[in-house]
Homo-oligomer: A and B are copies of this chain.
């Protein structure tokens, strides 16, 4: 019922352990991705596996918690940028930040497409993040800098896609910058004919998520 209960009402030592688990998990998720094992987290936190599972009923719940934190941080960042420099370029700056985040955070990158992304607790943060990006997008579109047939949802697909297949250790993990450049050039180009496929919609995505949760097996991921 409470995947990560308000750490109040926990015994002092348990609260301490929870803190260490989260710190360790953060590191593991970022560097090793959602396929890493519970054992890895437990070992780095200096606790037993059972203690990890006691706080988060499944591995997926743990990753979902971390994923949620990342979404919230990014939404805050987007809102901050909209406040500080509400210019037509703010979206592009945000997209660089976002793509870089995908590049530097394997858990965020792979997890966003993995089983843990199904968790219902992420629906809110995800929606908030899309809204925040949408505000930046509107700014850029009103200024005529970005073509009109782009949606907020596209921003995330694009920033994830330019990181396709790049992990730390891969040859040229910096290539995302190159493909983001190309994408941004494409986004700036006005287009006579509409794009060949309609844009993605978070509502459709959420319906699909709900179907997955009810229906059956999780998406493969990774």
**Interface-centre pick from A110, A162, A205 (highest chain B CB count, 10 A):** A162
Q: Which of A163-194 contact B (CB under 8 A)?
A: 163-165, 167, 169-172, 174-189, 191
Residues of B within 8 A of A196 (CB): 177-178, 180-181
The reply to whether B161 and A178 contact each other, CB–CB distance below 8 Å, is: no
Residue from the list B157, B161, B167, B185 in contact with A189, Cβ < 8 A:
B185
- Report A58 CB to chain B, min CB distance, Å: 18
With A171-B208, A186-B183, A189-B185 in contact, do A199 and B219 touch (Cβ < 8 Å)?
no
**Interface-centre pick from A33, A35, A191, A220 (highest chain B CB count, 10 A):** A220
The reply to whether B189 and A175 contact each other, CB–CB distance below 8 Å, is: no
Residues of B within 8 A of A220 (CB): 33, 35, 167, 222
Q: Please tell me if A85 contacts chain B, counting CB pairs below 8 Å.
A: no
Q: Please tell me if A160 contacts chain B, counting CB pairs below 8 Å.
A: yes
Residues of B within 8 A of A222 (CB): 35, 110, 220-222
Interface residues of chain A, those whose CB is within 8 Å of chain B, are: 33, 35, 110, 113, 154, 157-158, 160-165, 167, 169-172, 174-189, 191, 195-200, 204-205, 207-208, 219-222
**Interface-centre pick from A177, A188, A195, A219 (highest chain B CB count, 10 A):** A195
The 5 closest A-B pairs by CB, nearest first: A222-B222, A186-B186, A182-B186, A161-B164, A185-B186
Residues of B within 8 A of A158 (CB): 179, 182
- Report A22 CB to chain B, min CB distance, Å: 23
**Interface-centre pick from A170, A175, A177 (highest chain B CB count, 10 A):** A175
